[in-house]
Amino acid sequence: MSISKRISLFITDKNISQADLANIIGINRQTVNSWIRNNEEPAKISYITTLINHFPELSMDWILLGEGKMYNDDCLDNEKMIKRKDEVDKRIEDKVNELRAKINEWLDSLRS
Protein backbone atom coordinates (compact mmCIF):
# COMPACT_ATOMS: atom_id res chain seq x y z
CA MET A 1 0.00 0.00 0.00
CA SER A 2 1.32 3.44 -0.93
CA ILE A 3 1.95 6.39 1.36
CA SER A 4 -0.84 8.29 -0.39
CA LYS A 5 -3.27 5.42 0.32
CA ARG A 6 -2.22 5.39 3.98
CA ILE A 7 -2.73 9.17 4.15
CA SER A 8 -6.21 8.67 2.71
CA LEU A 9 -6.98 5.97 5.30
CA PHE A 10 -5.66 8.19 8.09
CA ILE A 11 -7.73 11.27 7.20
CA THR A 12 -10.80 9.07 6.77
CA ASP A 13 -10.21 7.51 10.18
CA LYS A 14 -9.64 10.92 11.78
CA ASN A 15 -12.65 12.35 9.93
CA ILE A 16 -10.71 15.31 8.57
CA SER A 17 -11.08 16.72 5.09
CA GLN A 18 -8.42 17.08 2.42
CA ALA A 19 -8.67 20.86 2.92
CA ASP A 20 -8.05 20.44 6.67
CA LEU A 21 -5.03 18.27 5.97
CA ALA A 22 -3.71 20.80 3.47
CA ASN A 23 -4.03 23.59 6.05
CA ILE A 24 -2.24 21.51 8.68
CA ILE A 25 0.65 20.72 6.33
CA GLY A 26 0.71 24.20 4.78
CA ILE A 27 -0.02 23.27 1.19
CA ASN A 28 -2.98 23.70 -1.12
CA ARG A 29 -5.91 21.30 -1.19
CA GLN A 30 -5.26 20.37 -4.81
CA THR A 31 -1.92 18.84 -3.83
CA VAL A 32 -3.54 16.62 -1.22
CA ASN A 33 -6.29 15.76 -3.69
CA SER A 34 -3.62 14.75 -6.21
CA TRP A 35 -1.99 12.43 -3.67
CA ILE A 36 -5.25 10.71 -2.90
CA ARG A 37 -6.99 10.63 -6.28
CA ASN A 38 -3.93 10.00 -8.45
CA ASN A 39 -2.04 7.89 -5.90
CA GLU A 40 0.90 10.32 -6.09
CA GLU A 41 3.47 10.29 -3.32
CA PRO A 42 4.11 13.49 -1.32
CA ALA A 43 7.00 15.35 -2.97
CA LYS A 44 8.66 16.35 0.30
CA ILE A 45 9.35 14.36 3.45
CA SER A 46 8.66 17.58 5.38
CA TYR A 47 4.95 17.12 4.57
CA ILE A 48 4.97 13.77 6.36
CA THR A 49 7.05 15.19 9.21
CA THR A 50 4.55 18.01 9.68
CA LEU A 51 1.71 15.50 9.65
CA ILE A 52 3.38 13.34 12.30
CA ASN A 53 4.22 16.39 14.44
CA HIS A 54 0.61 17.53 14.30
CA PHE A 55 -0.75 14.04 15.00
CA PRO A 56 1.74 12.38 17.38
CA GLU A 57 -0.54 9.37 17.66
CA LEU A 58 0.19 8.57 13.98
CA SER A 59 2.83 5.87 13.67
CA MET A 60 5.82 6.96 11.60
CA ASP A 61 6.55 3.35 10.62
CA TRP A 62 3.00 2.88 9.40
CA ILE A 63 2.71 6.10 7.39
CA LEU A 64 6.17 5.82 5.77
CA LEU A 65 6.69 2.07 5.46
CA GLY A 66 3.28 0.49 5.95
CA GLU A 67 4.58 -1.48 8.92
CA GLY A 68 2.78 -1.96 12.21
CA LYS A 69 -0.41 -0.19 13.26
CA MET A 70 -1.72 3.21 12.20
CA TYR A 71 -1.60 4.57 15.75
CA ASN A 72 0.98 4.49 18.52
CA ASP A 73 -0.66 2.69 21.44
CA ASP A 74 0.65 5.04 24.14
CA CYS A 75 -0.90 8.06 22.39
CA LEU A 76 -4.23 6.30 21.91
CA ASP A 77 -4.67 5.92 25.64
CA ASN A 78 -4.11 9.65 26.12
CA GLU A 79 -6.49 10.42 23.27
CA LYS A 80 -9.19 8.22 24.85
CA MET A 81 -8.66 9.96 28.19
CA ILE A 82 -8.98 13.39 26.59
CA LYS A 83 -12.13 12.34 24.73
CA ARG A 84 -13.63 10.94 27.93
CA LYS A 85 -12.76 14.14 29.80
CA ASP A 86 -14.41 16.20 27.07
CA GLU A 87 -17.55 14.05 27.33
CA VAL A 88 -17.66 14.49 31.11
CA ASP A 89 -17.06 18.25 30.76
CA LYS A 90 -19.99 18.46 28.33
CA ARG A 91 -22.30 16.56 30.68
CA ILE A 92 -21.29 18.85 33.56
CA GLU A 93 -21.87 21.93 31.42
CA ASP A 94 -25.32 20.63 30.42
CA LYS A 95 -26.22 19.96 34.07
CA VAL A 96 -25.03 23.43 35.15
CA ASN A 97 -27.15 25.03 32.40
CA GLU A 98 -30.15 22.97 33.48
CA LEU A 99 -29.70 24.08 37.10
CA ARG A 100 -29.30 27.73 36.03
CA ALA A 101 -32.56 27.52 34.13
CA LYS A 102 -34.33 26.07 37.18
CA ILE A 103 -32.88 28.76 39.45
CA ASN A 104 -33.98 31.48 37.03
CA GLU A 105 -37.49 30.00 36.92
CA TRP A 106 -37.56 29.88 40.71
CA LEU A 107 -36.35 33.49 40.97
CA ASP A 108 -38.95 34.61 38.41
CA SER A 109 -41.70 32.92 40.42
CA LEU A 110 -40.53 34.71 43.59
CA ARG A 111 -40.59 38.09 41.83
CA SER A 112 -44.18 37.63 40.63
Reported as a single tens digit per residue, the pLDDT across 7-24 is 999 999 999 999 999 999
Structural domains counted in the chain: 2
Q: Are residues 41 and 2 in the same domain?
A: yes
Q: Are residues 98 and 57 in the same domain?
A: no
- pTM more than 0.75: no
pLDDT at 112: 81
Please count the other Cβ atoms lying within 10 Å of the Cβ belonging to residue 28. Answer: 12
Q: Are residues 2 and 52 in the same domain?
A: yes
Q: Is 71 helix (H, G, I), strand (E, B) or coil?
A: strand
- Greatest CA span in the chain, whole angstroms? 71
What does the alpha-carbon distance between residue 54 and residue 76 come to, in Å, rounded to a whole number? Answer: 14
Q: What's the domain range around 35? A: 1-71
Q: Are residues 78 and 104 in the same domain?
A: yes
With a cut of 70, say whether residue 84 has pLDDT above it: no
Q: Are residues 26 and 62 in the same domain?
A: yes
pLDDT at 91: 76
Q: Are residues 12 and 67 in the same domain?
A: yes
* Average pLDDT along the chain: 85
